[in-house]
Structure formats: C-alpha cells, structure tokens
Amino acid sequence: MLTKIREWAGDALLRPDLLCEEADFRTVAEAISCAIFISQGERLHYVNPAAETITGYAREELLSMNFRDLVHPNSRELLLNRGGARQGDAQQQEVKILTKNGGERWLDISTAMIEFDGVLSILASAYDLTERKHAEAEVQLLAVTDPLTGLGNYRRLVEALDAEVKRTGRTGRPFAILLLDLDQLKKINDRYGHLVGSQALCRLADVLRIFCRAIDTATRYGGDEFAVILPETRVAGARLVASRIHSRLATDSLQPPLSASIGVAVYPQDGETMEALLRAADRELYAMKPV
C-alpha cells in the first residue's frame, strides 16, 4: 500500500495538473516522506518538511538558497552536465549533498519541468539513499577484507597490484612488494593452541599497519602469508621497511616471540607481470626461511 501511495504521490507531484487544485499538491507534498524542492530562476521557491529533515536547514534558509548550494562538490559537475528536461519529462540521478552540519547524504533525485504558481519551474523530488549506500560500501569492504586480521584479502591484493602496474605504466615510477611469512606458525599452534596462533597472525597484522603509509596496501592472502604493496618505492626503501618490521617483531615483549621471513621485489625490474613479481618475492622469502 505504501508503495502504491508513493507511486501515486510521485505522479501527482510531477504532474500537478493531475490534482484538482494547487492546494491538493501542497497537501500531498507536505505529508509525504519524499523531499520536494521547487526552483524558480536561481532560488528555491518551495520546499516541504521532508526537505528540511534531509538537509538540516529550516525552510526559510532553504528558500534563500540555490539547490546547487546543497550539492557536494564531487556531484556538482554531474548535476550541471545533465541536459534540460521538457515540461513533464522526468530525469533521475543519484546525487550527494552536504547537510547543514557538514554531513554527507546520498539522494535519488527525479527532476522535471512543471508549472508552479503560474511560473515554469524545476521540481526535484528526492529519496534518501544514505543507509543503502553505507550498506553497499560495507558489503564491498567485507568482500576484500580478511575477517581475522582486518587487512585486505587475496582479492584486495590482486586489485592493488593491478592498479599499481597501471600507475607505473602512466608515471614510469616503480613500486615494491613485500611478501611475508610468519615463521614457525605450526609450532606455535602445536605448543600454545590455535587461539594463540590466530593472535600471532593478528600481532603481525598490527605491525604491518604501523609501518604502512596511507598509500600502502597490507594484505593477508592466505594462512600465514602476508603481502604489503609499497607504491612509488624502490628496493632500498622496501628493504628499509622490511628491516623495521623485523626489528619491531624482535622487540615485541609478548609471548610467544614472533619473527617473519620477508621477500622483496620491485616492479618492473624483478618482473613485468604480477605473477612474475610475486614469484621473485617468493623466491627471496623462502631463501630466508629458518631451517
């Protein structure tokens, strides 16, 4: 029933002529949860209570503004690039806005040319998509996240490697990868139990976070194997990071003591494909493994 009411209300709002009088239009607009913005010239001419709720602005404030004033800078170009609609024709798009308190909200907006108060006007009806967008982002994050350590997973590793290969192709600047293997994980599991073994993996993950820059990507891509992608980094810089990771693990006072074998490879000198690069780092890693 609610869906049917919204469908009817949407048709009525986009076609005020379907209602008997302008008062009917305002009655519907004031009652529904869909935000309504009607612009005449460079200013908003009418907004409903739902528009106040979504934006955080009072009606008097909104009526002194242009609808574009609400739009997030990242969405303004998209909004401006949409062609004008003929009277009665609706256009739909998703737009990010900034609320009065600086928050970001996503709106599903339908716009149309209508006659309102005897003047040709632009009507924008908007439904709040923010919760759905957050849920979608959470699902996307979970798809590339290792559930134990919170680092990226193998899928994230492949995505980041592909992005860095393409970046190097554009800029000519190399990048490095560290492959890490937590030493003696089986012995830790056998002696202390798998819970402590899982905690050991998380301890190593925490060390990687400490030494990761914002542009770096740390991942656990399987078992006791980790990888760190270091954009715009040459071999000397990568070995310095590896040395710091070794030192941090060696000075960790928690039990059991941890160590990791680390292999370093730099693109493109150690491999011109992702597979070749990973093999090069893997060879160095296993050459360093304790007997």
The tens digit of pLDDT for each residue in 73-132 reads 877 766 655 544 455 556 788 899 999 999 999 999 988 888 888 889 889 889 999 999
CA distances from 146 to 73, 135, 205, 242, 287 (A): 33, 18, 11, 22, 27
Q: In the structure, what pLDDT confidence band is assigned to residue 23 with cuts at 50, 70 and 90?
A: low
At CA 159, angle to CA 157 and CA 160, rounded to 5? 65
Q: How many Å separate Cα 86 from the centre of its chain?
A: 35
Amino acid at 192: Y
Q: In the structure, what pLDDT confidence band is assigned to residue 1 with cuts at 50, 70 and 90?
A: very low
Q: Minimal CA–CA distance to 49: which of 38, 39, 59?
A: 59
Of residues 76 and 67, more confidently modeled: 67
pLDDT of 74 reads 79
User: Contact 174/268 with Cβ under 8 angstroms?
Assistant: yes
> Helix 194-210 and helix 185-192: axis angle, to 10°?
140
pLDDT of 148 reads 94
Comparing 73-77, 252-256, 270-274, the range with the smallest average pLDDT is 73-77
- Report pLDDT digits (tens) over 119-169: 898 898 899 999 998 888 888 888 889 999 999 999 999 999 999 999 999
Query: SS3 breakdown of the chain: % helix, strand, coil, rounded to 5?
Result: 45, 25, 25
User: Contact 93/78 with Cβ under 8 angstroms?
Assistant: yes
CA distances from 36 to 49, 82, 211 (A): 8, 19, 49
Q: In the structure, what pLDDT confidence band is assigned to residue 20 with cuts at 50, 70 and 90?
A: very low
pLDDT of 8 reads 42
Q: What is the pTM of this model?
A: 0.66
- What are the backbone dihedrals phi and psi of residue 32, each rounded to the nearest 5 degrees, phi first? -85, 160
- Report pLDDT digits (tens) over 194-241: 999 999 999 999 999 998 899 999 999 888 999 999 999 999 999 999
Q: Tell me the domains of the chain and their CATH numbers.
A: 2-134 (3.30.450.20), 144-288 (3.30.70.270)
Residue tagged active-site, from 224, 252, 270, 282: 224
Comparing 16-30, 65-79, 209-223, 276-290, the range with the smallest average pLDDT is 16-30
pLDDT of 2 reads 35
User: Contact 274/161 with Cβ under 8 angstroms?
Assistant: yes
pLDDT of 116 reads 85
Q: Say whether 282 is catalytic.
A: no
